[in-house]
Amino acid sequence: MRGAVLYAPGDVRVEDRPDPAIIEPTDAIIRVTAACICGSDLWPYRGVEKLDGPAPMGHEYVGIVEEVGDQVTTIRPGQFVVGSFWASDNTCEICRAGYQCACVQRVLMGTIGTQAQLARVPLADGTLVATPGMPDADLVPSLLAASDVLGTGWFAAVAAAAGPGKTVAVVGDGAVGLCGVMAAKQLGAERIIAMSRHAPRQELARQFGATDIVTERGDEGVAKIKELTNGLGAHSVVEAVGTQESMMQAIHATRPGGHVGFVGVAHDVALPGDELFNAVVHVHGGPAPVRQYLPQLIGLICDRTIDPGKVFDLTLPLEEAAEGYRAMDERRAIKVLLQP
Amino acid sequence: MRGAVLYAPGDVRVEDRPDPAIIEPTDAIIRVTAACICGSDLWPYRGVEKLDGPAPMGHEYVGIVEEVGDQVTTIRPGQFVVGSFWASDNTCEICRAGYQCACVQRVLMGTIGTQAQLARVPLADGTLVATPGMPDADLVPSLLAASDVLGTGWFAAVAAAAGPGKTVAVVGDGAVGLCGVMAAKQLGAERIIAMSRHAPRQELARQFGATDIVTERGDEGVAKIKELTNGLGAHSVVEAVGTQESMMQAIHATRPGGHVGFVGVAHDVALPGDELFNAVVHVHGGPAPVRQYLPQLIGLICDRTIDPGKVFDLTLPLEEAAEGYRAMDERRAIKVLLQP
CA angle A128, A133, A138 (to 5 degrees): 90
Q: What is the pLDDT of residue A266?
A: 87
Task: Return d(Cα A241, Cα A167) in angstroms, integer.
Answer: 20
Which pLDDT belongs to residue A97?
Answer: 97
pLDDT digits (tens, 9 = 90+) for A28-83: 999 999 999 998 899 899 998 888 889 999 999 999 999 999 999 999 999 999 99
A304 pLDDT tier (thresholds 50, 70, 90): very high
Do the chains contact at A273 and B242, CB–CB below 8 Å?
yes
**Strands ordered across the beta sheet of A212-214:** A212-214, A191-195, A167-171, A234-239, A254-262, A282-285, B282-285, B254-262, B234-239, B167-171, B191-195, B212-214
What residue type is B68 in one-letter code?
V
Q: What is the pLDDT of residues B114-150, one digit of tens each?
A: 999 999 999 999 999 999 999 999 999 999 999 999 9
Condensed to tens digits (0 to 9), the pLDDT of residues B146-163 reads 999 999 999 999 999 999
Asked if residue B166 lies in contact with residue B236, where contact means CB atoms within 8 angstroms, the answer is yes
Residue B53 reports pLDDT greater than 90: no
ipTM of the complex: 0.95
Does residue A110 surpass a pLDDT of 90?
no
Averaged pLDDT for residues B56-83? 97
Q: Do B272 and A267 touch (CB under 8 A)?
A: no
Would you say residue A318 has pLDDT above 90? yes
* Cβ A271 vs Cβ A279: under 8 Å: no
Angle, CA of A101, A106 and A111, to the nearest 5°: 100
Average pLDDT over residues B54-82: 97
Q: Is A43 exposed, middle or buried (0-12, 13-18, 19+ CB in 10 A)?
A: middle
Contacts of B280 in chain A (CB under 8 A): 99, 101-102, 285-287, 289
The rounded distance, in Å, linking the Cα atoms of B150 and B168 is 17
Asked whether residue A267 carries a pLDDT value surpassing 90, the answer given is no
B197-253 pLDDT per residue, tens: 999 999 999 999 999 999 999 999 999 999 999 999 999 999 999 999 999 999 999
pLDDT, one tens digit per residue, over A276-287 is 999 999 999 999
Determine the residue among B85, B232, B249, B271 to mutate to test chain A binding: the one whose Cβ has the most chain A Cβ atoms within 10 Å: B271
Q: Do A120 and A20 touch, CB atoms closer than 8 A?
A: yes
For residue A292, pLDDT over 90 is answered with yes
Measure the CA angle with vertex A226, ends A170 and B111; round to 5°.
125
In a mutagenesis test of the A interface, which of B84, B155, B235, B269 is the best target, namely the one with the most A β-carbons within 10 Å?
Answer: B269
Q: Which residues pair with A195 in a beta bridge?
A: A171, A214
Window from A205-214, B107-116, B250-259 with minimum mean pLDDT: B107-116
- The DSSP string of A12-28 is EEEEE-PPP---STT-E
DSSP A189: B
The pLDDT assigned to A307 comes to 98
Domains of chain B from N-terminus onward: 2-148+289-339 (3.90.180.10), 150-285 (3.40.50.720)
Set of chain A residues whose Cβ sits within 8 Å of the Cβ of B97 = 257
Interchain CB distance below 8 Å, A247 and B273: yes
- What is the full DSSP assignment across B274-309? HHHHHHT-EEEESS--HHHHHHHHHHHHHTTS--GG
**Which residues is B68 bridged to in the sheet?**
B28
Q: CB B125: neighbour CB atoms within 10 A? A: 17
CB A133 within 8 A of CB A200: no
